[in-house]
Structure 1
Amino acid sequence: MAPDQQEHMSAQQLADTLPVGVCIVNHEDARAFVNKRFKDFTGAHEPTGWGCLSRTIHPDDHGRVENVYHTALSTRTAFRTEYRTSDEKEEWRALSLEPLSEGHLRQFGLRDNGGMISMVTDISTEKVAEMKQKMIAEDARERKQQQERFIDMISHEVRNPLSAILHCAEDIMEAVQDQRKKGKEQLADIAEAAETINLCVAHQKKIIDDVLIFSKLDASMLTLRPQPVQPKMHLSTLLTMFRPELRKSRIEFEYKLDESYADCGLDWVMGDLDRMGQVLINIVSNAIKFTAEAQKERKIRVSMGACRRRPPSYPPNVVFFEPSEHALRLDSTRQPEWGEGEVAFIMVAVRDTGIGISDQHQKRLFERFKQATPKTDRIYGGFGLGLNISRRLCHMHGGEIGVSSKEGVGSTFGFFFTVRRCVEAEEWTQLSPQSPIDELCVQIGELDSKTPDVGRDTSGADFAHEPPVEHVNEVAIVSQSDERKEHTEKLIDEIENEPSEATAEPKETHSNADAHAPAQCPPEIMAKSKMAGRQRVLFVEDNIINQRIVSRRLKLAGFDVSEASNGREALEIWQREAFDCILMDQEMPVMDGNTATKEIRNLEREQGGHILIIGVTANVRQDQQAEMLEAGMDEIVHKPYKMKDLCDKIHEMIKEPDQKPSIGE
C-alpha cells in the first residue's frame, strides 16, 4: 500500500471516530471526503454536500439553510446555523461551513479552485436545555408581571378608600373645631363623615379577606371539605344575612327553585356548600350594591336548578367563561372523600335589575378569562378580584361561572358546581353540629326579625327553606334566551373578530367627543369666571364617594368645581367650558386618564392653548408615573393626599398666589 494511501486511511479512520459529521466539498459543492458520522446524519447518497444535507432538513428551516449554504459556498465565507431534522424526532443540528486552507486543499486534491469543510453537530441536548431555560425565564417574567398587576390592583383598591377616610377625618376635625356651626348641623356633618369612614373600612376589610383567600388559592393551600348537605336549605339560610341590607335599599327579593331541581330529585348531596356560599355571597353583595343605584325597578332573584350532565351551555341565559385545561385539572370532586354517589350538577343564578355592565367592560372581562390571565380590573364595581376567587372555587368544585348583562337593564351572574348524591346523609347529619356559618346566619335572621323598623318594607324578601318550585328562565334546561344573554353573546362574537386584544384600554378618537364643540369656551364665559375671582377646576374621578368628598372640600377651599366620572365625560366638558386646572384620575372606565389627556393635548396642538392637568392616582410604580407624564400630564399627586397639599399644588402650578383662598373659607 502506498504511503499516501496509508496516510489517507489513517485520516479516514481518525475522522470516523469524531462525534461531528465532516464533509469536504470543492468549489462546485462536489463531495471529496465524508466521515462515518456525516453518513449517519445524512445518508450521504447524493454527490453534492448540499444534496446530502437537503433531504434531512425540516421543511420550515429548509429555505433559510439553503440560502446561507450556497451564499457561503459562492463567496467562500464561513457561516454557522441551526436547524431541525425532518424525521419524527425533530432533533436539532448545528451546521457550519468554512473555507479550507491551502495545505488542506492540496491534501484533498482540490488545488487552486478552492473548497470548503462542512461540519454537522448534534445539539439536541443543548437545544432542549436552552428551550427549557427559556421557558423557565418566560414563566418567571410572566409571574413577575402577574405579581406586579396584582400589587397594582391591591394598591389602587386600598388607596382609594384611604383617601376618603383621610378627607372624612379632616371633615370631622374641622367640624369639631368650627365654633360657628350650630350643634345639629355640626353633628350631621360628623355623622355623615363617620358613616363614610365605616363604609371605606368595610371595603378595605373585604379586600384584605379576598387577598388572603387568593394567596391561599395561589399556593394551593385552600382545599374543599365535602359533607352531606341540603343545598336548597343551606342557601336559604345563607341568604338571610342580606335581609337588613335588602330592606335598607328597598330591594324586592326572591329565592326560587327551578323545576329541573325537583326533576333531578336532589335532597342530600356531598359538597362543600360553605365554599360555594362564598361565591354566592360575592355575587349577591354586588347585585345589591348596583341594584340600589337603579332608578326604577329594584329586584333581585336567586334561583337554583340542576341537571345530570355537565352544562356546556346551560343555563341558556348565562354565558360561561371557557375553562382551560388547568382549570379542569383543579376539579377535586373525583376524590374518595366525595363518595361514590351519582354525579349531578347544581346551577345557581343571581338576576338583578341594576345598572348592568358596559360593553367594553364585558369584552375585557371575557377576554381576560379566556386568556386565563389573573389581571383584575374594576369591572362591575370592583368585582375583578372577587370574580377571580369565585371562578377558582368553582373550578375546584368541578364547575364554572359566567355572566350576561346589558347596561341599564341589569346583570345575571350564574355558576354551577358538581355534587354527588348522598342518600344516607339524614341520619349522619342529625348527630353533627350546625356549621358556624349556618349558626351566624340564623342568629342574624332572628335578630333582624325582632328589630322593629316601621320605616322599612318587610314584604319583599322571601327566604323560605322550602322555596317555590316553578319554571325559572335563568336556570331552566329548556327556556328562551333573554336580551341580556343575546347582547353578551354578540359582544363575545365581536371579541373573536377583533384584530387586537379586547383587554386593551378603549382608544377614543376625536369622533367620540363632540366634533363641533370648540376647544376653548366662549370669551364671555371665561371673563365671567375670572370676574368671580374663583379658579375653575374640573375634577375627574369615577369613585363616587371620593368624587363627592373631594369636590365638596375643593369648593370649601374657594374653587369653582365641575365633576366628570370618566375620561370621555371630561373631554366633552373641557371642550364646552374653560378651566384653570384638570384633576385627572388615571384608572377609570369608558376612557382612562392617560387616553383623555392625550386627546386633550392633541386638540391643543391643533387649536392652541394649554390646560394644566394634574394626575391623581393610586398607582405608585415609576413606569406608571412615566406613562402619565408621557401622556401629557403636568404633575402627579398620589392617593391618599391631604387636601391642603392638593390645593397648594394647584395654586403652585397655576402660579396665582395672590388669589389663593384658604381651606374652609
Structure 2
Amino acid sequence: FINAITFEMRHPLSAIMQCADDILECYPKADNHFSMPSADRYAAILNQTLYAAQIIAQCAQHMRQIVDDMLTIPKIESGPFFITPIDAQPESVVSHAVKIFESKAKAADVNMTLHVDQSFRNLNINWMSLDPIRLGQVLINLINNALKATRLGLESPRSIKVILSASKEEPCSAPGNIQFGTKLTKEDPRLIEDWKLGSTLYLQFSVADSGRGLSEHERSTLFGRYDQASPRTHIKYDDSGLGLLISRRLTELQGGAIGLCSEPEKGSTFSFYIKTRRSEVDSRRTSLLEVFPEDMRARPSIGRLQSALNSGVPAAAIGLPGKPSLRELKLKNAIADGLHVLVVDDNQINQKILTKLLQKIDCIVNVANHGGEALDFLKKTKHWSAGKQTPPNSAETQHLSANLNVIFMDWEMPIMNGREATVKIRQLETSGTLLDRIPVIGLMANVQQQQIQMAMDAGMDDVISKPILMAEVMEKLRGVV
C-alpha cells in the first residue's frame, strides 16, 4: 500500500518541483543585475509561468484526491461515516455526473452517452430516498476511470455508455455478465430504518467503455484492499487503487454491491447497485437543483455538509452550481469592503495563502502565530475594555482597524491551540473584558464530526477545511459577519 501511494504521489511532486524551477528560471538571481525584459521576452515569461501554474494546480488537485481517499477509507471501516438519505431524483443525479465529463470526453474524441433502461421507466421511478453525494462519488469515480481507459485505448470509435436501470429484486452475478463480489461491509443502520418507510427498489448504474479491458487476474484483484491488479493497472483504472475500494465500501453501505464484466481488447463494464425506497415529495419540487440545498440545510449535522465538501464530488454532480468567479462571489455574498480580519496560524505558508485570499476581497489582515499572540492582539483593539488596552506600536497602528470583525483560528498550534484560545476569548467576553462578541472561524486540516462538535462547544462560529478555497472563505464570512 505504501509503495502504491508513494508511487502515485511522486509523479505530481516531481512535476510541481519542475514547474517551480521553470518559474524561478524566468527571473534573474538576486546577485544579477535586473533589466526590464523586452515585450517578446515578457510575453514568453507570462506564458511559461502561466503554464507552470496550471500544471501545479492540476498536480495539487490530484494529490489532494489521493489524501482524501486515504482519509476516507478509515472513516468507512471504523466510523463515523454517514450515509444520509434525502429525497432526490436518480436520473438527475446521473445526468449531472455525466455532464461533468462532457467537455473532457469531447476533447479526447470519446463519444459519451447516457441511456435510461426501459426497466427504470416501467417501474415509474421519480423521487427516491437516497444519498446523492455518495451516489455521485461512485459514479464520478467510475466515469473518470472509464474515460481514462478509453482515451488510452486504440479502438475507434471510442465510446462510454452510462446506463441507469432498476428492478424489484436484488441484482446478482450472471455467467458472461457482471460479476459482483462478496460483500465486506454491513449496511448502514440508518438506511435500514429508512427502507421501512416505503416500498424498496434496487437502482443499478453501469459504465461501459471501449478501452482495452482487463485480464482474469486483473479482474479478480481490482477491488481488493490496497491491491493493484498489476504494476500497470493504475494506468488503466484508478490511479492509486483507493477509488474503487472506496466505491465498493460505499455501495455496500447502501445495501448494494459493485462488480464488472471485462475481457482483454473488448472493453469493460463496471456496474453497481444500491437499495433505496420510493418517496413522496411536494409536487412543487421539480429538480435536484431545488431539493438538494433545501434538504442539506435541514440536516442536523454540519459535519455532513463538510464531508460532502471533502468527498471529492464536484458540485455539478449533485446539482449545485460550479465554481463562480471572484466577481460573482463578491456580488453574491455582498461582503462589505474593509473588514478587519485576524489570521491565527503557526504555519507561515498557510498565513500567506489565507492573507492573500482575504486581501483579494479588500480585507485588512493581521496575523498571529498561535492563540497566545491572538489574545495579545485583542488587547490592542477597541474591543478590550477601557483602561486595559495595550497601546499599539507605530507599525501596528498603520494596520489596526477600529473594529476586529472576525478571527480565522487554526485548530492545531503550539503554545496555545485554537480550541484553548477560543474558550479564553469567550470567557473574556462573558467577564466583560472584551466588550463585543468576535466571530471565530476554525481552520482544520481533517474535518470530522467529533472535531466540529468540539469546535462548536469551544465557542467557534463555524469551521472551514484546508486547503482553503475562496468560495468557502466568502461563504463563511457572510455567515458570521
Q: Normalized against structure 1, the TM-score is what?
A: 0.39
Contact 2:88 2:291 in 1 (8 A): no
Q: Do residues 199 (structure 1) and 50 (structure 2) align?
A: no
The correspondence for 1:425, drawn from 269, 281, 296, is 281
Contact 1:241 1:441 in 2 (8 A): no
The correspondence for 1:172, drawn from 8, 13, 23, is 23
The correspondence for 1:163, drawn from 3, 8, 14, is 14
Q: CA offsets per residue over residues 366-424 of structure 1, 9 Å max, x none? A: 6x3xxxx45457632415100111100001100011122234442211101101122x2
Q: Kindly state the Cα deviation for residue 434 of structure 1 after the two structures are TM-superposed.
A: 3.2
* 1-structure distance, mates of 2:58, 2:316: 25
Number of aligned residues: 289
* 1-structure distance, mates of 2:24, 2:117: 54
Contact 1:271 1:338 in 2 (8 A): no
* Structure 1 SS opposite 2:157: coil
Q: Do residues 306 (structure 1) and 163 (structure 2) align?
A: no
Distance 1:268 1:292, change over 3 A: same
1:62-77 paired onto structure 2 within 5 Å: none
Distance 1:250 1:176, change over 3 A: farther
* 1-structure distance, mates of 2:174, 2:189: 22
* 2-structure distance, mates of 1:192, 1:272: 38
The correspondence for 1:443, drawn from 321, 327, 336, is 321
The correspondence for 2:257, drawn from 387, 400, 403, is 400
Q: Kindly state the Cα deviation for residue 313 of structure 1 after the two structures are TM-superposed.
A: 1.7
* 2-structure distance, mates of 1:382, 1:227: 31
Q: What is residue 202 of structure 2 aligned with on the other side?
A: 345
Distance 1:349 1:446, change over 3 A: farther
Q: CA offsets per residue over residues 315-339 of structure 1, 9 Å max, x none? A: 9632222224xx3x33547532334
1:287-326 paired onto structure 2 within 5 Å: 287-295=146-154, 296-313=156-173, 317-324=177-184
Q: What is residue 90 of structure 2 aligned with on the other side?
A: 231
Contact 1:354 1:409 in 2 (8 A): yes
* 2-structure distance, mates of 1:410, 1:331: 33
Q: What is residue 485 of structure 1 aligned with on the other side?
A: none
Question: Which structure: larger Rg?
Answer: 1
The correspondence for 2:120, drawn from 238, 258, 261, is 261
Contact 2:221 2:227 in 1 (8 A): no
* 2-structure distance, mates of 1:244, 1:233: 18
* 1-structure distance, mates of 2:165, 2:190: 19
Distance 1:334 1:406, change over 3 A: same
1:446-485 paired onto structure 2 within 5 Å: none
Q: Kindly state the Cα deviation for residue 166 of structure 1 after the two structures are TM-superposed.
A: 1.2
* Structure 2 SS opposite 1:435: helix
The code of the aligned residue for 1:165 comes to: I
Q: Do residues 216 (structure 1) and 75 (structure 2) align?
A: yes
* Structure 2 SS opposite 1:240: helix
Q: Kindly state the Cα deviation for residue 427 of structure 1 after the two structures are TM-superposed.
A: 4.1
1:434-583 paired onto structure 2 within 5 Å: 434-436=291-293, 437=315, 441=319, 443-444=321-322
The code of the aligned residue for 1:155 comes to: T
* Structure 2, unaligned runs of 5 or more: 30-36, 294-314, 326-481
Q: Kindly state the Cα deviation for residue 278 of structure 1 after the two structures are TM-superposed.
A: 0.7
1:373-392 paired onto structure 2 within 5 Å: 373-375=225-227, 379=234, 380-382=237-239, 384-392=241-249
* 2-structure distance, mates of 1:389, 1:439: 18
* 2-structure distance, mates of 1:238, 1:364: 27
Q: CA offsets per residue over residues 58-83 of structure 1, 9 Å max, x none? A: xxxxxxxxxxxxxxxxxxxxxxxxxx
Contact 1:261 1:307 in 2 (8 A): yes
Q: CA offsets per residue over residues 236-280 of structure 1, 9 Å max, x none? A: 133222233223323211111111112223222222122111100
Distance 1:294 1:237, change over 3 A: same
Q: Kindly state the Cα deviation for residue 440 of structure 1 after the two structures are TM-superposed.
A: 7.0
* 2-structure distance, mates of 1:176, 1:222: 48
The code of the aligned residue for 1:267 comes to: N
Q: Kindly state the Cα deviation for residue 171 of structure 1 after the two structures are TM-superposed.
A: 3.1
Contact 1:308 1:345 in 2 (8 A): yes
Contact 1:254 1:302 in 2 (8 A): yes
The code of the aligned residue for 2:8 comes to: E
Q: What is residue 129 of structure 2 aligned with on the other side?
A: 270
Q: CA offsets per residue over residues 598-624 of structure 1, 9 Å max, x none? A: xxxxxxxxxxxxxxxxxxxxxxxxxxx
Distance 1:219 1:152, change over 3 A: farther
The correspondence for 2:218, drawn from 335, 356, 361, is 361
Contact 2:201 2:277 in 1 (8 A): yes
Distance 1:441 1:430, change over 3 A: closer
* 1-structure distance, mates of 2:175, 2:81: 28
Q: Kindly state the Cα deviation for residue 189 of structure 1 after the two structures are TM-superposed.
A: 5.0
* 2-structure distance, mates of 1:233, 1:155: 37
* 2-structure distance, mates of 1:382, 1:235: 23
Q: Kindly state the Cα deviation for residue 188 of structure 1 after the two structures are TM-superposed.
A: 5.5
Distance 1:172 1:347, change over 3 A: same
Contact 1:318 1:404 in 2 (8 A): yes
* Structure 2 SS opposite 1:292: helix
* 1-structure distance, mates of 2:202, 2:273: 6
